[in-house]
Amino acid sequence: MTLLNPYTPGAGTRPMLLAGRATQTALLRNLADQVEAGRTGNPIIYIGLRGMGKTSLLYAARDLFRERGWLAGYFEVRRNVEPGVAVQSIIADSAQLSTGKLRAALAAGGHRIGGMKLTLSPAGFSFEVDADKRTATPGADPFPALVAFLRALGADARANGVGVALLIDELQLFRKRDLAVLIQALSALEDEPIVLIGAGLPGLPADMAKANTYAERFRFENIGPLNDPDAKEAVVGPAFGQGILWDARAVEALIATSQGYPYFLQLYASEAWIAADGAPTITPKHLQTSADAAQRQLNVGLYAARYDRLSDREREYVDALATLMFPHGGRVGSGAVAQKLGKALTVVAPVRDRVIKKGIVHSPAFGMLEFSVPGFASYVLARSTAADL
């Protein structure tokens, strides 16, 4: 029998084993219990760097709520998409997979959001534009229609003893006004059993609070690297499920290399699995043999994708930061980067902010910077050195 590789490196791909997130899962169950008991539940927002598993948590939340009969759907924000469109997509997609009285109620209700009506056709649920509203009114306030739709939807959910979970990823991509509309609409709900479970980059809490102070009452959950025991579980567990063992030394080396970064754990474990080629135990030799293949994937994929989307001025800033980090890594003060570039801090601050917005760099402490993924400084130095040759 052919053994399938149990590791899933990739953007937004779900690991077979969601290790180290028991607390977050317990919070979701507690939220569902509260809402089903008629109490109001505060939105939960996962924040963290890319590759930490925020999207996997949203998928897990979707499954958990659906198992309880809720209407639960996932949506990844795209630029210039309004929150009403996001909600439409979530409800239409989740209604396709839901069963029971709530699905029937939605089909019969003909609920609207602005000029959109939820309808049931042989192909499933869809939103249709009313003939007399195909031309949207420029500058129209989307807030009243969104609130009315959510209240109607919540009433149906409450009547059927379940809730609605809006699972929205990449919240930081909403325009400020749209983020404000979404937050304000949620604050306008009363006892409707509707909850928001969102995810975004570390700067999201500040952006949400600026958009609407109601967001200050949201529960923000920081999703960081896995500790050593959880990282070990993430590596060993999936292989053990197929009768394959990991040598303890190989696991220790992999955890040290990955620094608990979930994407790296999946990538290095996946390549080691391939190198082992069905051997009963994955050894340090397999890990060592596969290291070059894993590094190539990082260089042409994760690292290159991030570096290539930088402007010339942003690359100059990132190159200076990488130079200051060599050879020990760690954190560097933003003032030191400005000094390295020979410019005033106020001049380079906008460039720094754009690099942070793009998820390349983050600020773990006031005035301090570090790269968002392990090994990126080495990649930047190697690339900039090659460009100088």
Please tell me the distance from the alpha carbon of residue 123 to that of residue 86, in angstroms, as a whole number.
20
Q: Are residues 39 and 169 in the same domain?
A: yes
Q: Are residues 87 and 171 in the same domain?
A: yes
Please determine, for residue 133, whether its predicted confidence score (pLDDT) is greater than 50: no
Please determine, for residue 193, whether its predicted confidence score (pLDDT) is greater than 70: yes
Q: Are residues 198 and 325 in the same domain?
A: no
What 3-state DSSP class applies to 339?
helix
Q: Are residues 188 and 291 in the same domain?
A: no
| Domain with 261 in it | 228-306
Q: Are residues 237 and 370 in the same domain?
A: no
Please determine, for residue 162, whether its predicted confidence score (pLDDT) is greater than 60: yes
Higher pLDDT, 120 or 73: 73
Q: Are residues 295 and 363 in the same domain?
A: no
Q: Are residues 74 and 150 in the same domain?
A: yes
Looking at residues 243-270, what average pLDDT do you find?
Answer: 95
Q: How far apart are the first and last CA of the chain?
A: 50
What is the pLDDT, as a whole number, of residue 329? Answer: 72
* 374 secondary structure, DSSP code: T
Please determine, for residue 4, whether its predicted confidence score (pLDDT) is greater than 80: yes
Please tell me the distance from the alpha carbon of residue 228 to that of residue 159, in angstroms, as a whole number.
46
What is the pLDDT, as a whole number, of residue 337? Answer: 96
Q: Are residues 177 and 321 in the same domain?
A: no
Please count the structural domains in the chain. 3
- Listed in sequence order, the residues at least 6 apart from 291 whose beta carbon sits closer than 8 Å to its beta carbon are 257, 268, 271
Is 165 within 8 Å of 61 (Cβ atoms)? yes
Task: State pTM to two decimals.
Answer: 0.86
Q: Are residues 254 and 237 in the same domain?
A: yes
Looking at residues 350-376, what average pLDDT do you find?
Answer: 91
Categorize the per-residue pLDDT at 333 as very low, low, confident or very high, splitting at 50, 70 and 90.
very high
Q: Are residues 329 and 214 in the same domain?
A: no
Q: Are residues 56 and 182 in the same domain?
A: yes
Q: Are residues 265 and 181 in the same domain?
A: no
Categorize the per-residue pLDDT at 165 as very low, low, confident or very high, splitting at 50, 70 and 90.
very high
User: Within a domain: residue 6?
Assistant: no
What is the pLDDT, as a whole number, of residue 95? Answer: 63
CATH of the domain at 235: 1.10.8
Q: Which of 222, 254, 279 is the last residue of a domain?
A: 222
pLDDT tens, residue by residue, 279-312: 999 999 999 999 999 999 999 999 999 999 999 9
Is 46 within 8 Å of 208 (Cβ atoms)? no
